[in-house]
């Protein structure tokens, strides 16, 4: 399928550095637990944690709501759970893209039930919610372009994660 780059790698690198500084400045002082959402946010999470100048731990949650489709199935499934408790910790949840908000709402409920001291959300890309319900995004890299995007960790049928920029999958 043809691809069209819409956010180049250099722009992503600049914005990730800015996000790291924003996270450090705005979140409560002290250690931080960064929770990346697999698989799409693994590259973003790796780059972001290197841009946050404080002590932190990294963990991952695996979720699935798309499978091999380009449209959400409407069902969120946990495929990999956290490796350590987050009770009493300041937590930053890192998402690749917030589209329908279904996955994010599910993860917020799941993580809040585990008793973190605070819970904040950072998304690389965010679309305005279709139902008009505001999502509690603390940090957003870029507004998501219309269409199906791949690259920088985001996939289309498990392909294109290795592209350095964000691309529209056309056709």
What residues act catalytically?
Answer: 99
CB 121, CB 104: distance < 8 Å: yes
Which DSSP string do the residues of 93-141 spell out, in sequence order?
A: EEEEEESSSHHHHHHHHHHHTT--SEEEEEEEEEPPPTT-PPP--SEEE
CA separation (Å) from 136 to 59, 66, 79, 139?
21, 22, 24, 9
Q: Is 33 left (phi over 0), alpha (psi -120 to 50) or beta?
A: beta
- For residue 30, the SS3 value is coil
Chain position carrying tokens 């049928």: 157
Q: Give the pairing type, strands 166-169 and 3-7.
A: antiparallel
CB 8, CB 145: distance < 8 Å: no
Cross-strand pairs, 32:
56, 90
């Amino acid at each position: 399928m043809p691809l069209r780059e819409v956010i180049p790698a250099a722009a992503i690198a600049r914005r990730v550095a800015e996000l790291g500084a924003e996270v450090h400045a705005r979140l409560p002082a002290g250690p931080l637990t960064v929770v990346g959402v697999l698989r799409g946010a693994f590259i973003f999470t790796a780059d972001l944690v290197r841009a946050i100048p404080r002590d932190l731990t990294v963990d991952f949650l695996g979720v699935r709501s798309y499978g091999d489709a380009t449209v959400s199935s409407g069902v969120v499934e946990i495929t990999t759970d956290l490796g350590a408790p987050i009770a009493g910790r300041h937590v930053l949840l890192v998402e690749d893209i917030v589209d329908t908000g279904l996955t994010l709402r599910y993860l917020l409920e799941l993580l809040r039930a585990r008793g973190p001291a605070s819970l904040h959300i950072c998304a690389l890309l965010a679309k305005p919610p279709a139902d008009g319900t505001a999502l509690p995004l603390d940090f957003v890299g870029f507004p998501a372009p219309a269409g199906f995007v791949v690259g920088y960790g985001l996939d289309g049928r498990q392909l294109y994660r290795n592209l350095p920029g964000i691309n529209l999958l056309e056709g």
